[in-house]
Amino acid sequence: MTTGNVLKVLIYVYDHYMLADPAEVPERNCMLADLQKRGFSVSEVVHAMEWLSALVGDQRASPGSVDPESDRAGLRIFADGELSRLSADCRAFLMLLDRQHVLLPRQRELVIERALALDVDEVDVEQLKWVVLLVISSQPGQELAFARFESVMSAAGGAVRH
């Protein structure tokens, strides 16, 4: 594992491409060339593109439930591998997002899976916040979740760019 440069690529992609008008987003090869021009290594860019592809693929594989409120029942127990890679602060933040109805359980699972796919030994809260933002932003119809996330971030003193 490395130092988290894949997350830096993902943040750049979010800032420069995910917020853009879809008609303005360049083709994948042009995007890869731009990222390399910005100083990201080929391996970092490839890993970030695989990360994003997996995010989109996971969303297609697990469609949303018919009744989102029925999706709220249950208790989440973290596996040993998750406990070793997600700090206590990360787990507490995920529980806060659950309580504030920012994430549905299937979204929380996607956040956990994508956070563990980063190139870091232990995910910290700042990294997790970016993963949450990327997951929410990549799903259509998440305006309420995004507003709730902004509210949580404002209350915690963190800013959310959009």
- Above 70 in pLDDT, residue 152? yes
- Above 80 in pLDDT, residue 136? yes
Asked if residue 108 is part of any domain, the answer here is: yes
Binning pLDDT at 50, 70 and 90, where does residue 67 land?
Answer: very low
- What is the rounded distance in angstroms from the CA atom of residue 127 to the CA atom of residue 115? 8
Number of domains composing the chain:
1
Q: Which residues are 86's β-sheet partners?
A: 123
- Above 60 in pLDDT, residue 99? yes
Asked if residue 139 is part of any domain, the answer here is: yes
Range of the domain at 21: 5-156
Asked if residue 66 is part of any domain, the answer here is: yes
Asked if residue 62 is part of any domain, the answer here is: yes
Asked if residue 133 is part of any domain, the answer here is: yes
Q: Kindly report the pTM of this predicted structure.
A: 0.78
In terms of average pLDDT, the best of 2-11, 132-141, 145-154 is 132-141
Asked if residue 162 is part of any domain, the answer here is: no
**Per-position DSSP letters for 43-110, written without gaps between them:** HHHHHHHHHHHHHHHHHHHSPPPS-GGGGG-S-----HHHHHHB-HHHHHHHHHHHHTT-S-HHHHHH
For residues 102 and 64, the model is more confident at 102
At which residue do the structure tokens 């709220």 appear? 72
Instruction: Give me the mean pLDDT over the 116-131 stretch.
Output: 93
